[in-house]
Chain A
């Protein structure tokens, strides 16, 4: 189920503005890959280009290739809706559907795939997804209550349960802990460590300790100046990035001697 992602010569544009330039990277399956870098360097844009979510903004387009196990995401016959069904995403701010119960939130993606499932199978899926997101014990008695009544950390885990319920091949996380307290953050990080056995995980984070704790590989994005496109400066095993990076810019950034 977990798949590798090969990105070659990827440029991302918003209208005429080139936001990201020349990304070449291979992301290994069954691992956590962290993307770090200063604000506005294009790491979130890059992440969103991996499931074509950046296209939500009018005028967004890419040049180059993103290939997931041989399938070109930007092939002319590929529907972005299908791409997003294979590649799950968790956002910066927890966003369970406020008009749905916890149960309905978890199965929202499955219902979209318009598979008719028996009530029993749905129940099992809800339980396994919520267990997968380490949330089952906290919510099993109130599955019919709105998801918006949970705490921030619980809501984020609900969003993760919703994302993994459709059995995606890849899980993208865009600063999933930046709105959470340290204890909830720890819970999500533990969860990532468990989930990487089943999914390919790519996470954008501003928290370098987090990148160091959870990821095997780390990519450092940077830009030369305002209005310039962001670039992938360095992509290496996390240990190497944080102990002996190849690039001076990376070392400056992780040691806080930046800008």
Chain B
């Protein structure tokens, strides 16, 4: 019966590690904050689902458009993704290039000023972007659209007829690109400037030029940060309401034609434009489109996570 003595005494409480009051308070606060996020997220999801049930279960003919919620939301999803993808395609290379210029090419003083100016872009309210896009960018793009229709009309993107107001999907995408530029360039700048000197020196000592050093030691290190920044930007572009609502001329359904005046709307802009005049089932339908946007954004973020983690071994974090 000697084993009795050596048996771990499971019934007893495990010895509590000594922790200071401050430590416990902070642990409690941060845990609470983490839980709060989950509660809010769950609350939003529950609200969206509950409120959109009416529209989902309603007969197709009664839903706005007369063909059911799915055909109502389809063009909106397409428009949302198209505008966001245009924005991302323009803003990501530009943002990365700006970040590289600021961190590795520009003289110190210019770098600081430029960084400050880029950050300032983020402080401009989206309604201002909207009016700028409507009043300044759209008209100035009209000649380009006409030119594109004549010379690049064989591409589906420039099939035309070219818009005479310039309020096209491409204009909306470009406005969104400028809006998400500060997010992407700020995050890229941050990760690029943290690329370890150790590896930058390793590249230089092998006889790398500055650009080769960036390719070997900075970009691979910053890749996941850039993807993260791009996804944050994409999130903003997907959800941006006012600027798109002001700029985009909406009529019609799914089309890849970027320069005509008949464009699908985006989910967020459509909600903003339709909501004041809606009641009953219309409201439920709009909330359903909101639910779809919620799911899209969630999926985009999960995809980004997956992309970032796929080659975690090689990430440089170890």
Q: Give the interface of A toward B (CB within 8 A).
A: 51, 53, 56, 81-86, 88-89, 91, 93, 95-101, 108-109, 112-113, 145-146, 148-149, 159, 162-163, 166
Contacts and interface: CB of A to CB of B under 8 A. Distances in A.
Contacts of B221: 98-99
Contacts of A95: 196, 198-199, 201-202
B315 A81 contact: no
A97 B220 contact: yes
Contact of B217 (A81, A84, A97, A113): A97
A99 B316 contact: yes
Contacts of A96: 202
Contact of B201 (A53, A98, A112, A148): A53
> 3 closest A-B pairs (Cβ-Cβ)?
A85-B207, A99-B220, A98-B316
Contact of B314 (A86, A88, A100, A108): A100
Q: Among B199, B204, B205, which residue has the most Cβ atoms of chain A within 10 A?
A: B205
Contacts of A81: 207-209
Given A88-B205, A96-B202, A166-B207, 10 more contacts: A53-B201, A81-B209, A84-B204, A84-B206, A88-B206, A95-B202, A98-B220, A100-B220, A112-B207, A145-B313
Given A146-B313, A149-B313, A97 B199 contact: yes
B62 interface: no
Given A97-B216, A98-B314, A82 B199 contact: no
SS class, residues of chain B in contact with chain A: helix
B20 interface: no
A108 B206 contact: yes
A59 to B, nearest CB: 11
B212 interface: yes
Contact of A112 (B196, B212, B317, B318): B212
Nearest to B206: A109
B256 to A, nearest CB: 36
B207 A98 contact: no
Nearest to A85: B207
A112 B206 contact: yes
Interface in B260-318: 313-318
Nearest to B209: A81
15 contacts: A51-B205, A81-B208, A88-B205, A97-B199, A97-B216, A98-B220, A99-B220, A99-B223, A99-B314, A112-B216, A145-B313, A162-B202, A162-B206, A163-B206, A166-B206
A53 B204 contact: yes
Contacts of B216: 97, 108, 112
B202 A91 contact: yes
Interface in B166-210: 196, 198-209
Contacts of A53: 201, 204-205
B207 to A, nearest CB: 3
A113 B313 contact: no
B313 A85 contact: no
Contact of B207 (A91, A109, A149): A109
Contact of B318 (A56, A93, A148): A148
A85 B206 contact: yes
Contact of B205 (A84, A93, A99, A149): A84
A146 to B, nearest CB: 5
B43 to A, nearest CB: 40
Nearest to B215: A112
Contacts of B201: 53, 56, 91, 95
Contacts of A163: 205-206
B219 to A, nearest CB: 9
A97 B201 CA distance: 11
Contacts of A97: 199, 202-203, 216-217, 220
B206 A98 contact: no
Nearest to A99: B220
A98 B202 contact: no
A12 to B, nearest CB: 17
Nearest to A89: B205
Contacts of A89: 205
A91 B217 CA distance: 15
Contacts of A113: 207
Contact of B199 (A84, A85, A98, A109): A98
Q: Among A98, A101, A159, which residue has the most Cβ atoms of chain B within 10 A?
A: A98
